[in-house]
Amino acid sequence: MRSDLLTAITANTAFTSNCTVSSELPWDSGGSPLYINNKKHFYLSAENKDVTELFSCLDSTDIMQTETTLNGYLTVDAKNQPSDIDTIVANVLLARTTIANTTNSESSVTIGIEDDYITYEFLYRFITV
């Protein structure tokens, strides 16, 4: 799911010269996250899966639900934001629609401001049965 989402985000942001998509995980750069050090680079976390029992059947074949969550990060300079940052954010959020075979797919963004940079933290949530 992570690779499909990265492919969709790369395609959705290809027309912008202000943002690149990294296939690396967003961690480990001397103790600080890569997305803080490499501004205008989008990073996507590894998948976090949570499997729960949706229905218990009489014939011992339970129906399971899998919830997969991923976090994405994009940091930009607060004073010199890309002129098309709203389009970039909208297209990164829209990438969730390209993931097939899901019962439910959601995406949201949280904006955090610290020192002289703004971090957009994206949350993707996919449910399959």
Express each pLDDT in 38-69 by its tens digit: 899 999 999 999 988 877 777 777 888 899 99
The CATH code that applies to domain 2-55+63-128 is: 3.30.70.1700
pLDDT at 115: 86
- Between residues 18 and 9, which one has the greater pLDDT? 9
110-117's contacts with Cβ under 8 Å and 24+ in sequence apart are 113/78, 116/77, 116/78, 116/79, 117/36, 117/39, 117/75, 117/76, 117/77, 117/78
Question: CA 91 to CA 69: how far, in whole Å?
Answer: 18
Question: CA 52 to CA 114: how far, in whole Å?
Answer: 37
For 58: left if phi > 0, alpha if psi spans -120 to 50, otherwise beta; the answer is: alpha
Q: Which pTM does this prediction carry?
A: 0.86
pLDDT at 13: 83
Query: 15 to each of 12, 41, 44, how far by Cα in Å?
Result: 7, 15, 19
Quick check: 29 pLDDT over 70?
Answer: no
Domain ranges within the chain, ordered by starting residue = 2-55+63-128
Question: CA 46 to CA 5: how far, in whole Å?
Answer: 11
